Chain A
Amino acid sequence: MASEIVTEQQVKMKPKKKESQVVQVFRKLIKNKLAVFGLMIITLQLLMAIFAPFIVAYEPDEQILEATELPIASEGHWLGTDNYGRDMWTRLVYGARISLVVGIISVVIGLAGGITLGLLAGYYKRLDGIIMRFVDLLFAFPGILLAMLIIAMLGTSIVNVVIAISIWSIPGCARIVRGSVLSVKKQEYILAMKSLGAKDSRIIIKHILPNCAAPIIVFATMRMATTILSTSALSFLGLGAQPPSPEWGAMISAGQDYMWTSPHMTIVPGIAIMLVVFAFNVVGDGLRDALDPNMEYPE
């Protein structure tokens, strides 16, 4: 009988199935209204990029010479047309694809380089000095200057922009990862792993790297914003995507000559860039809060 009661209590006290960390972070994230707005914008951009050919009626370079510089809300062209009669909505949708692809590739390459350098510098003291001095050196180029120097070396093209921005992302990521590694490697379980004779590569990849994930995720999200902004800036300056590419920065650059007669050519791509960059910034902010265990959330 007694054993039956105990069993009943045990059933009552049985803890709920523990939520995975990802679900917990997502729950916290969606309590942040701005982050939800950001997520919606990013999803929209993703859908535009993937389904571009299905949601537009024209080709991005298709010129309708009898319908040039049509204003916003024109028939058949709800965002108007540019000076060559190209549909602005079509170009905007295809531009979303370019900025997303360039952003993702640059961030992934930058992360790969930054994580590797950060892990090595943080874990091996003898490599720390040399790697971090190199990182400091790259940090000595303010803002977009490092990317410009690389483009000056490689030449102007969108591929070179990807390379330049990837390299530019490395020092920031390396510094963040190194900082996390330094705090994680002092934990007792890492010391225990070492004393058990685990290989360095196993400790780094299986035990240290997953514990550095939070700052890396936040960095990657924020970096997407910087990358999209920088790609468009470089294209605006004529150093990135070249005409007739529907890249948003290049569209603004082309629109500048028509600002007096067709301001929508400049306004539309600018708003697109601002919204997407804003979205990645607020999601990054939200993720930073959601991944912070000390942050309290209202129920």
Chain B
Amino acid sequence: MLGLIVRRFFQLLILLIGISLIVFMSMHLAPGDPAAIIGGPTASESDMEAIREDLGLNKPVLVQYFDYMKGVVQGDLGYSYQTNQAVTAAIITRFPNTFNLAIASMIVAVVIGVIAGIISAIKQNSWFDLSSTTIALAGISIPNFWLGSMLILVFSVTLGWLPVGGLNAPFYTLEGMKQLILPAITLGTASAAMIARMSRSTMLEVVRSDYIRTARAKGVKEKSVIWLHALRNAMIPVITVIGVNFGSLLGGTIITEQVFAINGIGRLMIDGIASRDFPVVQGTVLLVAALFVIVNLIVDIVYAMVDPRISYE
């Protein structure tokens, strides 16, 4: 196990370097002179030259990359062209909102997905199974930005039960939870649908296996067969889907934050793209991609721990 963790850790490092290279080069190749963006329309050529000198934009690309990475390792992601605020500080301020949203939607996705998937498998071909599989397919097909708007229309505008948007109260307060409900459902629906489909198919496979037949033949109660014997094995592939989905949820927060006007990493990124604020885009993309691969690494390790049959040799 230790060997696996060490090997995966080194692969992760290489992957992170690759990601940083892609992100850095993409921003470097983007049209538009950063000096002109910072200096504004009134800046003279000598002003712009001074800005280039100050930012190190006159240096060769590779030197600029190594300078940037030196900063990244020390937690310095540069400064926003628009606000001159440190990108790291902007990310730290907004990260809790994104993280809370991702966690809340993961809870929604896992609870709904696993329960729906298992009931569907146990009651295969029943009306519940048919409607839940159809709803799951619809769940994957709903644009989440539209679902968010519809939830706002029903629960905030028409019924007035939940706030329209924003996420400023702490998540453990009633107000904070109220603010989280609609965004979490919006973001978690597609993942819930995927988890439901996966849980259903793996559960169906497991309940047909020999050891379940043996358990039933021995007279074990059906509830114990399903919840104690079948579920443990059926959940192994589901863990992977949950892990991969958590990474995607981090990416998905970008859209949901926009719909619900949540001050998170996603909004920071979109504003950065719109205003061609490259350090902000670079920092936020790097962070989300790095988190995604780290979560995947953790999932891989958990997967190997849960299922001793898995070998990565």
Give the interface of A toward B (CB within 8 A). Answer: 34, 133, 136-137, 140-145, 148-156, 225, 229, 232-233, 236-239, 249, 252, 255-256, 259-260, 263, 266-267, 269-270, 273-274, 277-278, 281-282, 285
Contact = CB atoms under 8 A, between A and B. Distances in A.
B26 A152 contact: yes
A252 B19 contact: no
B212 interface: no
Contacts of B18: 133, 137, 140
Contacts of A34: 134, 137
Given A237-B270, A282-B137, A148 B254 contact: yes
B293 interface: yes
Interface in B100-134: 134
B157 A149 contact: no
Interface string B172-199: 0000000000000000000000000000
B143 interface: yes
28 contacts: A140-B18, A140-B293, A141-B285, A141-B292, A142-B247, A142-B251, A142-B289, A143-B251, A145-B251, A145-B288, A145-B289, A149-B23, A149-B285, A150-B26, A151-B273, A152-B272, A152-B273, A233-B144, A236-B258, A252-B145, A252-B149, A256-B149, A267-B150, A274-B142, A274-B146, A278-B138, A281-B140, A282-B137
A281 B142 CA distance: 11
Contacts of A282: 137
Interface of B: 15, 18-19, 22-23, 26-27, 29-31, 134, 137-138, 140-146, 149-150, 152-153, 157, 247-248, 250-252, 254-255, 258, 269-270, 272-274, 276, 278, 281, 285, 288-289, 292-293
A232 B149 CA distance: 14
B303 to A, nearest CB: 17
B141 A281 contact: yes
A237 B258 contact: yes
A270 B137 contact: no
A103 to B, nearest CB: 14
B285 A145 contact: yes
A232 B143 contact: yes
A143 B145 CA distance: 14
B181 to A, nearest CB: 19
Contacts of A269: 146
**Pairs A-B, 5 closest by C-beta atoms:** A143-B251, A270-B146, A142-B251, A278-B141, A277-B141
A273 B15 contact: no
A249 B143 contact: yes
B150 A225 contact: no
Contacts of A150: 26
Contact of A153 (B26, B140, B150, B250): B26
A233 B145 CA distance: 7
B19 to A, nearest CB: 5
A238 B157 CA distance: 24
> Which of A141, A145, A229, A269 has the most C-beta atoms of chain B within 10 angstroms of its own C-beta?
A145
Given A140-B289, A149-B22, A152-B26, 17 more contacts: A133-B18, A140-B293, A141-B19, A141-B288, A144-B255, A145-B285, A149-B26, A152-B272, A155-B30, A225-B141, A236-B258, A239-B273, A249-B145, A252-B145, A252-B149, A255-B149, A260-B157
A134 to B, nearest CB: 8
Contacts of A278: 137-138, 141
B153 A263 contact: yes
A169 to B, nearest CB: 16
A141 B248 CA distance: 9
B250 A148 contact: no
A273 B289 contact: no
A273 B138 CA distance: 11
A136 B18 CA distance: 10
Contacts of A149: 22-23, 26, 281, 285
B15 A136 contact: yes
B152 A259 contact: yes
Nearest to B19: A140
Contact of B255 (A141, A142, A237, A256): A237
Contacts of B152: 259
A285 B193 CA distance: 14
A79 to B, nearest CB: 16
A143 B256 CA distance: 13
